[in-house]
Amino acid sequence: MTETALQQASAATDTPRAYAALETHFTELAHLTRILGLLSWDRAVMMPKTGAQARGAQMAALTKIRHRKLTDPALGTLLDDATAEEDRLTDWQRGNLREIRRLYTRSTAVPDDLAEALTKTANACETVWETAKPDSDFAAVAPLLSELLNLTRQSAAAIAETCGMAEPYDAMLDTYDKGARYQDIAPLFSALEDWLPDAVNTAIAQQQESLPLGDPPPVEQQMALGQLLLDKMGYHGRFDTSSHPFSNGRGGDVRITTRFTGGPFTLECVLTVLHEAGHGLYDMQLPEEHNTQPVGGVFDLSMAVHESQAMVWERQIGQSLNFWKFLAAPARKIFGIDAQNPAFTPENLYRQVNTVEKSFIRVEADEMTYPLHILLRTGLEKAMIDGDLSVKDLPAAWNDGMKDKFGIVPPDDRRGCLQDVHWYGGDFGYFPSYLLGAMNAAQIFQAMRRALPEVDTLIENGEFVPLREWLRDNIHARGCLEMPREVIRHATGDYLQLDNFKTHLSKRYLDA
Amino acid sequence: MTETALQQASAATDTPRAYAALETHFTELAHLTRILGLLSWDRAVMMPKTGAQARGAQMAALTKIRHRKLTDPALGTLLDDATAEEDRLTDWQRGNLREIRRLYTRSTAVPDDLAEALTKTANACETVWETAKPDSDFAAVAPLLSELLNLTRQSAAAIAETCGMAEPYDAMLDTYDKGARYQDIAPLFSALEDWLPDAVNTAIAQQQESLPLGDPPPVEQQMALGQLLLDKMGYHGRFDTSSHPFSNGRGGDVRITTRFTGGPFTLECVLTVLHEAGHGLYDMQLPEEHNTQPVGGVFDLSMAVHESQAMVWERQIGQSLNFWKFLAAPARKIFGIDAQNPAFTPENLYRQVNTVEKSFIRVEADEMTYPLHILLRTGLEKAMIDGDLSVKDLPAAWNDGMKDKFGIVPPDDRRGCLQDVHWYGGDFGYFPSYLLGAMNAAQIFQAMRRALPEVDTLIENGEFVPLREWLRDNIHARGCLEMPREVIRHATGDYLQLDNFKTHLSKRYLDA
């Protein structure tokens, strides 16, 4: 704790002293966190490639400073003192204290040398993966992945022990989705797994073919359509291109990107904008008065809730027939497409974005098959963290899982266990949040429909602002006042249930 | 000094221990400095205006961290220890130690509370100035400017005393041009002042009128011409627009901007690109192997030398007839102008960029009258720092000076003493570096001509790479190995002399 922090803290007379000192300390940490975000945005969107080495060193230096501040032993004492003041704190302050305690406890649970070894090994492993993937050469990256898994297991065990979690894998889940525990997720995933493979087969058998859309329009036109959507949604912020789409920033400076990969024209350009804008609106509508504090969502918003915001816009809204009843006309106008073109009717566009197909690649998967990709990965990473699956057996286990869930086996590891960067960059425990996000989104959208019975008409008219405002009032503006589970319950009236997701998929893909 | 710094330092066995620890410490400081530069670039070029408040807080937090590291008392001890090791250091290491000593001494010379008061008052004063200027309301900003001047004088006195300078104004000059002293500059400026007013009158009387260029071409075409020039110069980096042109970054990630203000078409678009690229090439060609150390020019390149690099390209090259013999044809082609158009001959374009005219506004002034604007400001700020001119008497003193030097008096303070932000932002001592830069540039270009006798032909052919390489080898690649005075002597064979500048102006404006 710096002297300045304590001075400033004692100046704030209404706020208990130790808590106020924590706020001051975390204000600085919040600024550093936002700066790291900007450095990373710039690297992906603006920086010439020749700046990569220097930028890496800059980010490493700032990350180190941030880590030192986050693990400052004086914070431990302050946390104890602030806990004694807890009955004098407001709800938001108590939420903030809970978030601060979590950040400090998790950061200090892992010894510095282990944390450093993890970062270094993850960087090395990801670098090797970058060429191992195109070469489809799992053997090249296996030794580093083994080492990384070994360090990750140590780290997970240390966190689980310090935080009193039931098992090490919980520490990994908790990294991306605060408070998530395997014992809560397992029944949901398991019930979904029982139902989904057959449902996928039914959906494929039933679906009507759609007409192809022809060549892609110029990038400028696709960006213009994206901007039209963003304006309708009331998104205020930058909109750029990068090689992987992402969102960044908060409040008055939110930034999203989309990408253009070439190939035949799909409506990915629209769905990606909706997805990233869903993330962006969350960050834009976080509570401004808490924008330098953990409770304001600066450090650690749950990925499962964040992803749900993307999924509400992409899956629930953007893949509905009503949405295409709205967008077909502006899309035809911007792309210069004749009104009689049968490929650009709302119905054909709707069929296009909802085509179900079994495939090897997660990021290209449709809404119905996507969860199977996640179920596969969740099972494998749980086994790896538990010590029940070794890295050398991963490719075979992957292919067995594909056969079991999809009935197809990838012809090489490039399209198999090498396809995703996550594990190779040390991100075990991340995958489930994608599926939890989709499930949360279904439940949230059903709650939104109850609150706004005219939601279908609003979507058909492109009137998205009431939807955005409902999300703001019921989710975004509450920041991290409560834990993610409670966020979902507050917004929807219940904890996450599988039924809502199944109902949604059934209505869209099985009841046709 | 952190433990890590000392550990890393002792691992470098060839390098004396204390010096190595300083290098480690300054590597971190270099990264923070570069990050601050990027935050400022992004603010000017990319950030939505609604991000301003958060960005200000982020930059303030990082500046504070940087300041704490720069004034860390442990550095004083390490500097003493490293001084004892000096005979074991290489030339570059000795240069680095000199730079580190300067940074530490200057930073610690001003008490923290005074430094903080200065920053706060400067911010407040600049904010008031932003509306006082368009309102031409000097009285509105005078109290804050008085306070700022008062604090600046205290700070200057403290630095001058600690660093053993002859007078407080030296501390201000030294801020922007390391090692500059008033006693060295005064005779140069005084001799120029004796000669220039009459020379300006002669130039105006002699000059041929030029044909106007018509309406400005679209911004995209002007950017395309700028990019063509940058390619010819071998500038590799970003090229964007902002409301004030500037350069930023270093090495593999240099960034420059230009601006478009509307109004009748001038060749400012070309000259601004040359100017900023001149700055950019300096930063691009600094010694890569020292890119995290003060000796590599991360912290504190002399403004007078930096400006000279802009001036070599803008004034010496870009305002020469040979340059327009090269650029007239590509400009006509990009702008879609007929080859017979008499306004777009090399001769008319040359006359356009060299039109001499007495005016009130420094930033719009031509090469001949520009120095008079600087001489006016230098005299006034020297008197203010010395306590011989109070803020309330500034407008009258300004107008007297304009009458004396130009024979014209501005109709209001907006076009008088309120026009430049420098003093209102606390930047006393900055103005002289503009003129020193122009003078340095004349001397440097004459040295370049001696080394490259074919320089006129190269320019006429648009072959700028040999010029860039000469600047790299003789100036840029030497970083801060020597003090700025010595940089000029190394590159040109002599310390700065007025004759070179007079010769240049005479040849261009008086010998026609």
Q: Could you tell me the residue ranges of all domains in chain A?
A: 1-89, 219-359+432-510
3-state secondary structure of B243: coil
Residues 62-101 of A with CB under 8 A from B: 62, 64-65
Instruction: Give the Cα-Cα-Cα angle A166, A171, A176 (nearest 5 degrees).
Output: 135
Question: For residue range A424-454, what is the model confidence (pLDDT) as tens digits?
Answer: 999 999 999 999 999 999 999 999 999 999 9
Query: To the nearest whole angstrom, how far is the Cα of A51 from the nearest Cα of chain B?
Result: 5
In B46-162, where does DSSP find H-type helix? 52-70, 73-84, 91-109, 112-135, 138-162
How confident is the model at residue A336, as a pLDDT? 96
- According to the model, what pLDDT value does residue A278 have? 98
Sign of the Cα torsion A488, A492, A495, A500 reads negative
**Chain B contact present for A252, CB below 8 A:** yes
Chain B residues whose beta carbon lies within 8 Å of the beta carbon of residue A62: 31-32, 35
**Residue B8 predicted with pLDDT over 90:** no
Q: CA-CA distances (angstroms) from residue A202 to A236, A435, A506, A509? A: 41, 21, 10, 8
> pLDDT tens digits for A113-170?
999 999 999 999 999 999 999 999 999 999 999 999 999 999 999 999 999 999 999 9
Rounded to a whole number of angstroms, the distance from the CA of B82 to the nearest CA of chain A is: 24
User: Which of the residues B23, B26, B31, B62 would you substitute to probe the A interface, choosing the one with the greatest number of A C-beta atoms within 10 Å?
Assistant: B31
> Once rounded to an integer, what is the mean pLDDT over residues B458-475?
98
Predicted local confidence at residue A258, as pLDDT: 96
Q: Is the pLDDT of residue B443 over 50?
A: yes
Centre a 10 Å sphere on the Cβ of residue B253 and count the other Cβ atoms it contains.
28
pLDDT of residue A474: 98
Q: Is A288 exposed, middle or buried (0-12, 13-18, 19+ CB in 10 A)?
A: middle
In DSSP notation, A7-36 reads HHHHH-TTS-HHHHHHHHHHHHHHHHHHHH
pLDDT, tens digit, 9 for 90 and up, residues B148-194: 999 999 999 999 999 999 999 999 999 999 999 999 999 999 999 99
Q: In the predicted model, what is the mean pLDDT of residues A326-346?
A: 96
CB contact under 8 A, B62 and A35: yes
Whether B252 and chain A come into contact, CB under 8 Å, resolves to yes
Query: With an 8 Å Cβ cutoff, are B57 and A292 in contact?
Result: yes
Q: Which of A58, A235, A241, A284 to mutate to test the interface with B (most CBs of B within 10 A)?
A: A58
Nearest CA in chain A to B57: A31
B249 lies within 8 A of chain A by CB: yes
Q: Do A57 and B238 lie within an 8 Å CB cutoff?
A: no
Percent of chain B at pLDDT exceeding 90: 95
Q: Residue A297: which region, alpha, beta or left (left: phi > 0; alpha: psi -120 to 50)? A: left
Partner-chain residue, chosen from B28, B51, B253, that has the shortest CB–CB distance to A47: B253
Pick A48's closest partner by Cβ from B31, B57, B252: B252
Query: Are residues A249 and B51, on separate chains, in Cβ contact within 8 Å?
Result: yes
Establish if B36 touches chain A: CB-CB under 8 angstroms: no
What mean pLDDT, rounded, does chain B reach?
95
Among candidates B27, B39, B53 on the partner chain, residue whose Cβ is nearest the Cβ of A38? B39
Report the predicted TM-score, pTM, of the whole model to 2 decimal places.
0.94
Chain B: closest CA distance from residue A227 (Å): 16
Separation of alpha carbons B149 and A224, rounded Å: 51
For residue A48, give the nearest of B31, B34, B237 by CB distance: B237
Chain B CB contacts of A236 below 8 Å: 48, 50
Which chain B residues are closer than 8 Å to A291 by Cβ?
Answer: 54
Residue A347 CB neighbour total at 10 angstroms:
14
On the question of pLDDT at B15 being above 80, the answer is yes
Nearest to A153 by CA among A388, A367, A456, A401: A388
CB atoms B35 and A34 under 8 Å: no
A112/B contact by beta carbon, under 8 A: no
Instruction: Please tell me the distance from the alpha carbon of residue A61 to that of residue B124, in angstroms, as a whole number.
Output: 32
Query: What's the sign of the alpha-carbon dihedral B51, B269, B279, B484?
Result: negative
Q: What is the pLDDT of residue A262?
A: 79
Strand-pairing partners, residue A451, are none
B25-36 burial, b at 16+ Cβ within 10 Å, e below that, comes to: bbbbbbbbbbbb
Best to test chain A binding among B2, B23, B49, B58 (most A CBs inside 10 Å): B58
Quick one: pLDDT at residue B300? 86
Instruction: Give contacts of B283 with chain A, Cβ < 8 Å.
Output: none
Chain B contact for A474 (CB, 8 A cutoff):
no
Which residues does residue B255 pair with via DSSP β-bridges, in sequence order? B238, B248
Per-residue confidence (pLDDT) for residue A400, from 0 to 100: 98
Q: Chain-wide mean pLDDT for chain A?
A: 95
What residues in B contact A64, CB-CB < 8 Å? 28
Of B27, B48, B58, the CB nearest to A34: B58
Question: Is residue B6 scored above 50 in pLDDT?
Answer: no
The chain B residue lying nearest A25, using CA atoms, is B61
The distance between the two most distant Cα atoms of chain B, rounded to a whole number of Å, is 71
Q: What is the pLDDT of residues A6-56, one digit of tens each?
A: 445 444 457 899 999 999 999 999 999 999 999 999 999 999 999 999 999
Considering the candidates B268, B276, B307, B314, report the single residue annotated as catalytic: B276
The structure tokens 């008052």 sit at: B121
pLDDT score recorded for residue B2: 46
- The residues facing A113 across adjacent strands are none
Instruction: Give, in order, the Cα–Cα distances in Å from B376 to each of A208, B173, B373, B389.
Output: 80, 16, 5, 13
CB pairs under 8 A between A and B: 92
Instruction: Tell me the residue type at A454.
Output: E
Q: Which residue of A2, A7, A35, A39 is the best one to mutate when testing the B interface, meaning the one whose CB has the most B CBs within 10 A?
A: A35
Averaged over A364-380, what is the pLDDT? 97
User: How confident is the model at residue A6, as a pLDDT?
Assistant: 47
User: How far is the C-alpha of A93 from the C-alpha of A294, rounded, in Å?
Assistant: 10
Q: Is A53 an 8 Å CB contact of chain B? A: yes
> How confident is the model at residue B14, as a pLDDT?
77
Query: Could you give the CA distance from residue B129 to residue B56 in angstroms, rounded to a whole number?
Result: 18
Are residues B47 and A251, on separate chains, in Cβ contact within 8 Å?
no
8 Å CB contact of A48 and B236: yes
Q: Is the dihedral of CA B24, B29, B32, B36 positive or negative?
A: negative
**B252 and A31 in contact by Cβ < 8 A?**
no
Please list the active-site residues of A. 276
- The pLDDT of residue A2 is 46
Does the pLDDT at position A512 exceed 80? no
Least CA distance to A60: which residue of chain B?
Answer: B31
**What is the least distance, in Å, from the CA of B269 to any CA of chain A?**
23
Cβ separation B252–A46 shorter than 8 A: no
Q: Is A117 touching B (CB cutoff 8 A)?
A: no
- Nearest by CB to A238, which of B32, B46, B54? B46
pLDDT of residue B512: 62
- Distance CA(B189)–CA(B205), nearest Å, equals 24
Check B253 against A292: CB less than 8 A apart. no
Say if CB B229 and CB B220 are below 8 A apart. Answer: no
Mean pLDDT, rounded, for A248-267: 92
The Cα–Cα gap between A364 and B71 comes to 53
Inter-chain CB proximity B54 and A253 less than 8 Å: yes
Residue of A nearest to B28 (CA): A61
Contacts of A251 in chain B (CB under 8 A): 50-51, 54
Closest Cβ opposite residue A42 in set B38, B48, B237: B38
Cβ neighbours, 10 Å, residue B355? 16
User: What is B331-352 written as a DSSP string?
Assistant: HHHHHT--TT-GGGSHHHHHHH
Query: Tell me, what's the ipTM?
Result: 0.93
CATH of B219-357+433-489 given 3.40.50.1820, 1.10.1370.30, 1.10.10.10, 2.40.160.10: 1.10.1370.30
Q: Reduced to 3 states, what is the DSSP secondary structure of residue B412?
A: coil
Nearest CA in chain B to A58: B31
Confidence of residue B3 (pLDDT cuts 50, 70, 90): very low
Residue A13, pLDDT score: 56
Fold of A219-359+432-510: Neurolysin; domain 3 (1.10.1370)
* Residue of B32, B50, B291 lying closest to A253 (CB–CB): B50
Report pLDDT for B468.
Answer: 98
Task: Please name the residue of chain B whose CA is at the shortest distance from the CA of residue A35.
Answer: B58
| Of the candidate ranges A255-264, A293-302, B327-336, the one whose mean pLDDT is the lowest | A255-264
| Chain A touched by B44 (CB under 8 Å) | no
Mutate to test the interface with A, among B2, B39, B40, B46 (most CBs of A within 10 A): B46
pLDDT in tens, A231-247: 999 999 999 999 999 99
Residue A406 to residue B329: CA distance in whole angstroms: 64
